[in-house]
Amino acid sequence: MRTGRLLSSPEEERLTRPSPFARRAARGSIADVLAAWTIKICATLAIASLVLIFVFIGREALPILTSEELHEEVDVPRLFLPQPGEEGGSEFAWRPVSTPPRFSILPLFVGTLKATLIALLIAIPLAVGAAIFTSEFAPSLAREIIKPSIEILAGIPSVVIGFFVLMVLAGWLQSVFGWTFRLNAVTAGVGLSLAVIPIVYTVSEDALSSVPQTYREGSIAMGATRWQTAWRIALPAASPGILAACVLGFGRAVGETMIVLMASGNAAVLSFAPTDSILTFSAAIASELGDAVHGGAHYHVLFFIGAFLFVLTFVTNLAGQWWVTRLGRKLRGELVYVPTMPSPHVATGPGDA
């Protein structure tokens, strides 16, 4: 006897059951959605963290501009202008614990600039030269040895580099050149260059390696040597990436703390001589923030320096990114200068001919 219930045969169950491909597609779509949301959340958290850091630093630095009580000790003009000296006259001095305190940040700015420029003058030629060698001239075996050896410097803690400069390199440089101060801008710059070289080298080598091989083959087919090809073809084609590497190196050198804290001498002296001791922005914040009275003038000035350093690095990176984009458009032929020519004179009568 047949019942009113329909009994599905094995063939019907096989036809109605989802296929393995459909199940994999469903699982894949769910995984794609989860991955997309994870990436969005991570990106949002990164941007929010950056904004919150800047808001916190700006909030602590704002009393320098708004607090009448702090203006009795320090204000924005006194941070950048000379102040009365102890023996008459005026001077740029950073003496936050003197009576009265002096908060001129120009010696710190000059010290930061000296250490950064020395580091870049050492690091950029070495890093870019090594990148050109490994991407254009070195055999594959040498490239596999040189590239990891340079990049491993990025994994060395900055405190280890600073300790090496303090204990070994500073004394050796003083004995060779006879400097008065063992710790000075040159020793700090040399230590900073060891931290900058891996960044500039890695980005520059990647930029040179991404140049199409057809550029090199065409240059060699026209009779150019390997050096001419590297200098006139590969290097200009990779110049946006190399410029970006230099900008990243600048930001790394400006914001480095431990190396300059250990190897610069930490003397806030306004001097343009590279062999004098210096005090940088980051070293001043690291060495003095723990001793500053919370809510005092010294405390807020250090946060103002942090905000100033943040803005300086941000503007530098923004300008570098703009120049890299412009240079890339120029190399792609998208940015072409077309001179304006005067419109031809149209004769309207016998007297205008």
Res 335: pLDDT: 57
Res 291: pLDDT: 86
- Bridge partners of 103, per DSSP, are 94
Question: Considering the domain boundaries, does residue 183 fall inside one?
Answer: yes
Assign 25 a pLDDT band (cuts: 50, 70, 90).
Answer: low
Q: Which residues lie closer than 8 Å to 309 by C-beta, 6 or more apart?
A: 254, 255, 281, 282
Judge whether residue 40 has pLDDT over 90: yes
Q: Looking at residues 11-18, what average pLDDT do you find? A: 58
What is the rounded end-to-end Cα distance, in angstroms, of the chain? 114
**Could you read off the pLDDT of 161-210 as tens digits, one per residue?**
999 999 999 999 999 998 888 999 999 999 999 999 999 999 999 999 88
Residue 252's CB is within 10 A of a number of other CB atoms, namely 22
**Residue that wins the pLDDT comparison between 322 and 118:** 118
**Could you read off the pLDDT of 139-158 as tens digits, one per residue?**
888 888 888 888 888 888 99
Res 249: pLDDT: 92
**Could you read off the pLDDT of 220-279 as tens digits, one per residue?**
898 888 899 989 989 988 888 899 899 999 988 998 889 999 999 888 888 889 999 999
Query: What's this model's pTM, rounded to 2 decimal places?
Result: 0.80
Question: Percentage of residues in the chain with pLDDT exceeding 70?
Answer: 84
Judge whether residue 69 has pLDDT over 90: no
Average pLDDT, the chain: 84
- 263: which 2 tokens? 């190897």
Question: Considering the domain boundaries, does residue 169 fall inside one?
Answer: yes
3-state secondary structure of 14: helix
CA distance 119 to 67: 38
Question: Considering the domain boundaries, does residue 69 fall inside one?
Answer: no
The position carrying tokens 């070495």 is 126
CATH of the domain at 310: 1.10.3720.10
The position carrying tokens 């500039």 is 200
Question: Considering the domain boundaries, does residue 260 fall inside one?
Answer: yes
Phi, psi of 193, deg, nearest 5: -60, -35
Question: Considering the domain boundaries, does residue 77 fall inside one?
Answer: no
Provide the domain count of the chain: 1
**Residue that wins the pLDDT comparison between 14 and 120:** 120
- 156: which 2 tokens? 């060395």
Res 122: pLDDT: 95
CA distance 312 to 307: 8
Q: Looking at residues 75-82, what average pLDDT do you find? A: 85
Question: Considering the domain boundaries, does residue 20 fall inside one?
Answer: no
**Residue that wins the pLDDT comparison between 278 and 334:** 278
Res 66: pLDDT: 87
Judge whether residue 12 has pLDDT over 80: no
Domain interval for residue 318 = 119-331
Assign 45 a pLDDT band (cuts: 50, 70, 90).
Answer: very high
Do the Cβ atoms of 170 and 183 come closer than 8 Å?
A: yes
Listed residue (276, 279, 257) closest to 268, CA to CA = 279
Q: Which residues lie closer than 8 Å to 273 by C-beta, 6 or more apart?
A: none
Res 20: pLDDT: 65
CA distance 119 to 113: 10
Res 88: pLDDT: 65
Do the Cβ atoms of 263 and 277 come closer than 8 Å?
A: no
Assign 127 a pLDDT band (cuts: 50, 70, 90).
Answer: very high
Question: Considering the domain boundaries, does residue 81 fall inside one?
Answer: no
Q: Which residues lie closer than 8 Å to 132 by C-beta, 6 or more apart?
A: 208, 230, 234, 235
Question: Considering the domain boundaries, does residue 40 fall inside one?
Answer: no
Assign 120 a pLDDT band (cuts: 50, 70, 90).
Answer: very high
